C-alpha cells in the first residue's frame, strides 16, 4: 500500500511581532504616530545602535546559510531514497525581515517589500519548468494549487476557498494568474489590542491603509521608487482613488461567505 504524507519542517518556534528601531524614527510620517500611540504597547519599540544592527544582519545571513544547509540535506535524502521524482517540494516563508530598511529590523505591520516579498521555490515532477517568474502570487494560492496538482476535484475543496491555481505559472514562468494581491494584517497580541492594516499590491504599486488613521496611508510606485521612499498618498490623487477602489473591490470579492445564508429556505 502506498502512503502519502505532507511534510512541514520549521527551524524555529512561532514568535510575536516585535519592532526594533535603528535610532529614533518617531518623526516618521506614519510609524511615529503609531509608536507614540499608547493603544499599541504590544509593538514593543526598542532602540539599537548601528553596531547591534550590523550584528543582527550578520546573524540573519548565518540563519539563511543554516536553512540552506537544511534544505540541501532534505533534497539529498530525497535523491538517495529514490523519492525525488515522486515528491512535491515547496520552499517559502510567512514573511521577511526589515534588516535595516527604513530604520527597522525584525518585522511589523509596515508592509515594505523586505517583509512581504517572499521567495517561493516550487518543484513538481513532470509539472514545473526551470525558470524565474515575477508574477504576483499569494500564500492563499498554495493550498488550491496543491489540491489541483493532486487531482482533487473543485467540488471537494473547502467552501469559500480563496486563492488561485498557479499551475499555469509552474508550467510557464511567463504566465500570470493575478492582477493584484490583498494583504490583511490583524494582529491581536494583547487581549484588547487590535492593529489592522490592509495592503493592495499590483505589479506597479503598493497601497497600505491603516485602521483608525483616516488621513494617513502609503502609496509607492515600484517602478520609479523600488526602495519605497517617496510616498504618493498626498501627491497623486488620481492613482490614490484608483488603488483605493481596487482595494475595496478586492475586499468585497474575498469577503468570506460562510456560514451560508438560509433566509430563503
Distance (Å, rounded) from C-alpha 102 to C-alpha 228? 9
Cα separation of 26 and 6, whole Å?
45
Report the candidate in 120, 126, 161 with the shortest Cα–Cα distance to residue 143: 161
Average pLDDT over residues 55-61: 87
Q: Bigger pLDDT: 241 or 186?
A: 241
Q: Give the H/E segment covering residue 123.
A: strand 121-123
Identify the pLDDT of residue 97.
87
| Residue 160 contacts residue 253 (beta carbons within 8 Å) | no
Q: How confident is the model at residue 17 (pLDDT cuts 50, 70, 90)?
A: very low
pTM for the full model? 0.79
Element (H, E) at 89: strand 89-91
CB atoms within 10 A of CB 103: 15
Q: Residue 1: which pLDDT band, with cuts at 50, 70 and 90?
A: very low
The domain defined by 179-254 folds into Arylsulfatase, C-terminal domain (3.30.1120)
Give the per-residue pLDDT at 44. Answer: 47
Residue-level pLDDT at 30 = 57
Banded model confidence at residue 38, pLDDT cuts 50, 70, 90:
very low
- Does the pLDDT at position 64 exceed 50? yes
Q: What is the pLDDT of residue 162?
A: 85
Locate the domains of the chain by residue range: 179-254
Q: Say which range, 102-111, 175-184, 188-197, has the weakest mean pLDDT.
A: 188-197
Residue 190 confidence (pLDDT): 44
Tell me the sheet residues that pair with 21. Answer: 47, 104
Choose between 212 and 37: higher pLDDT: 212
Q: What is the pLDDT of residue 16?
A: 47
Query: Mean pLDDT for the chain?
Result: 82
Peptide bond into 259 cis (omega under 30): yes
pLDDT (0 to 100) of residue 207: 98
Amino acid at each position: 500500500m502506498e502512503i502519502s504524507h505532507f511534510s512541514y519542517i520549521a527551524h524555529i518556534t512561532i514568535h510575536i511581532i516585535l519592532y526594533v528601531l535603528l535610532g529614533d524614527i518617531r518623526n516618521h510620517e506614519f510609524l511615529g504616530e503609531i509608536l507614540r500611540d499608547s493603544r499599541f504597547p504590544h509593538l514593543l519599540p526598542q532602540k539599537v545602535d548601528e553596531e547591534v544592527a550590523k550584528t543582527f544582519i550578520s546573524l540573519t545571513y548565518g540563519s539563511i546559510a543554516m536553512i540552506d544547509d537544511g534544505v540541501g540535506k532534505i533534497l539529498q535524502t530525497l535523491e538517495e531514497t529514490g523519492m525525488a521524482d515522486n515528491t512535491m517540494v515547496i520552499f517559502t516563508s510567512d514573511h521577511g525581515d526589515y534588516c535595516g530598511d527604513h530604520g527597522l529590523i525584525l518585522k511589523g505591520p509596515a508592509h515594505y517589500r523586505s517583509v512581504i516579498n517572499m521567495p517561493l521555490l516550487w518543484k513538481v515532477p513532470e509539472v514545473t519548468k526551470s525558470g524565474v517568474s515575477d508574477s504576483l502570487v499569494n500564500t492563499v494560492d498554495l493550498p488550491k494549487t496543491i489540491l489541483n496538482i493532486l487531482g482533487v476535484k473543485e467540488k471537494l475543496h473547502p467552501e469559500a476557498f480563496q486563492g488561485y491555481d498557479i499551475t499555469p505559472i509552474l508550467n510557464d514562468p511567463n504566465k500570470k494568474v493575478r492582477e493584484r494581491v490583498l494583504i490583511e494584517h490583524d494582529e491581536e497580541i494583547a487581549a484588547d489590542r487590535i492593529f489592522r492594516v490592509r495592503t493592495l499590491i499590483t505589479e506597479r504599486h503598493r497601497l497600505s491603509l491603516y485602521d483608525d488613521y483616516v488621513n494617513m496611508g502609503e502609496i509607492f510606485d515600484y517602478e520609479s521608487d523600488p526602495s519605497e521612499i517617496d510616498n504618493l498618498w498626498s501627491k497623486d490623487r488620481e492613482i490614490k482613488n484608483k488603488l483605493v477602489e481596487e482595494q475595496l473591490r478586492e475586499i468585497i470579492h474575498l469577503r468570506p461567505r460562510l456560514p451560508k445564508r438560509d433566509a430563503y429556505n
